[in-house]
């Protein structure tokens, strides 16, 4: 085994013999241990951070809704100008 430079993962050498794959239950146990190790790294945001993140997300959603609404109104205006009023009614 050789340690890969960029991300620190272990990789097998090209000419090295393949190691025997562990059985199903051992792989599940390793997976569960790795999940718990990752969960220990999770940091819960403070109340002020949570409120700030929520405000940023809501602000972004409002801006995107306004953008989509504006494009919708523009496209309706363009299609009405190009194709006219449906049914041939004139104002």
56, 61, 64, 66 alpha-carbon torsion, rounded to 10°: -110
pLDDT in tens, 75-86: 999 999 898 876
- Report which DSSP code applies to 7: T
- CB neighbours of 91 closer than 8 A, spacing ≥ 6? 85
pLDDT in tens, 35-56: 999 999 999 999 999 999 999 9
**How high does pLDDT run on average in the chain?**
85
Lowest-pLDDT choice from 9-13, 14-18, 19-23, 42-46: 9-13
Q: How far is CA 47 from CA 35, 42, 43, 44, 51, in A?
A: 26, 16, 13, 9, 6
What is the structure's pLDDT at 68?
A: 98
């Amino acid at each position: 085994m050789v340690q890969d430079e960029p991300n620190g993962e272990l990789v097998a050498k090209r000419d090295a013999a393949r190691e025997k794959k562990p059985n199903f239950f051992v792989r599940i146990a390793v997976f569960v241990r790795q999940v718990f190790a990752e969960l220990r790294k999770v940091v819960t945001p403070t109340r002020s951070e949570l409120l700030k993140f929520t405000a940023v997300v809501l602000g972004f959603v409002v801006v995107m809704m306004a953008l989509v609404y504006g494009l919708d109104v523009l496209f309706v205006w363009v299609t009405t100008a190009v194709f006219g009023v449906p049914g041939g009614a004139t104002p």
